[in-house]
Structure 1
């Protein structure tokens, strides 16, 4: 009887010893497994962030749901509605917008999520990729009507700076980071952005130039400017590596623009 009892006890002691020795290893093993998964995820993120093209097609560290091409197209031409063309835009402008989305300075739920998921290097890479893409050919209805007067000349009586002063006579941009090419962008996108500037929803303009220029505009004027710009052929603006240089800063020094109260949350800190 003693032997079976002792044998049973002995088996229990051995089992207990196994549990006592190995139980503390369980958390360690779990950590090792998690570390392996994290390393694998990091390696995957690195591969998917190899360069701007890969990031645009894969979403980089943000994953496939954040892939740029799903809205902006494989050629960077946009969707013809809410998503603008990125191909051929000034690299400095694109870099600044990505940083402003990431910081929340330019508010947009979708783009903020996408930009935040990328590190700064990845944001620069994808901006450079789109800036280097050729502008896709488009079929535009030639604008028979001339440019709206307020676009070309502004309205000094209302303190409106001419759009052409910063964006060019045909919306071609200046090649400086704060003055992008706006010709050939989708009409809905152009109108939406002007409305956002006017309401204060968008405010990442250097020294508040866009807010000051757009605020006095009527809805018909905004629509007329958007319609005319959308019908203009897009062409590459002069290249610039600056994300902050801007002819609009010079425009801000003009009395019509500088009368606006300057806010601390502006992109240039002014």
Structure 2
């Protein structure tokens, strides 16, 4: 599966064979406890492994296609990566909305290796107070995303643009996806999308119906707009009006195959 580029991508661990074996050995040395979710801080992102990886994939990504494996054969260790936003969503769901899980955060040091850094339960939140408070402030942020699918050189390119009116943030990316839109599903979940804008005619094809069904599975509202709303020809002028002095990234947004224009239409 091709991972989308940008802030909301699925990260690869990029460990050499020695580090892989060392981490697998350490992870398997931890006491098994189905009530504990262990999260590993990878500096720029986070990861979960073993049964926790399957749980996060099903509960938050809504698909197991995001699961990666460390090692080979029967000893391979499943893992799933999380960006900062999804990490905080998991914390809120398990510690504020849930009552049955303990969350442990592990960090690596050069001398001591992996060590338990923080731990919290629904009745003892102090260790993650900063993350939970920030998530609580932004829990209902109405993120709107626009999606446009094009085929070039026998490959399916998915352009995604999103707008977060609370944080006043615009973003976009484009990536190659499969016919089940597995990478797109991961992006929609990580963004926390509440509404997804799609070209109207595109949803009338079998592929378009799969796309619309995927949006529904992710808990987002699928809104259809006329194809002209996805025309990127005037995108830089539109962004200039929206962003005033901050227009340096306008060309990057236009690379998302017209999805940037669709996001503006959906937010309007």
TM-score, normalised by the number of residues in structure 2: 0.27
User: Whose helix fraction is larger, Structure 1's or Structure 2's?
Assistant: 1
TM-score, normalised by the number of residues in structure 1: 0.27
**Of the two, which has the highest radius of gyration?**
1
User: Whose strand fraction is larger, Structure 1's or Structure 2's?
Assistant: 2
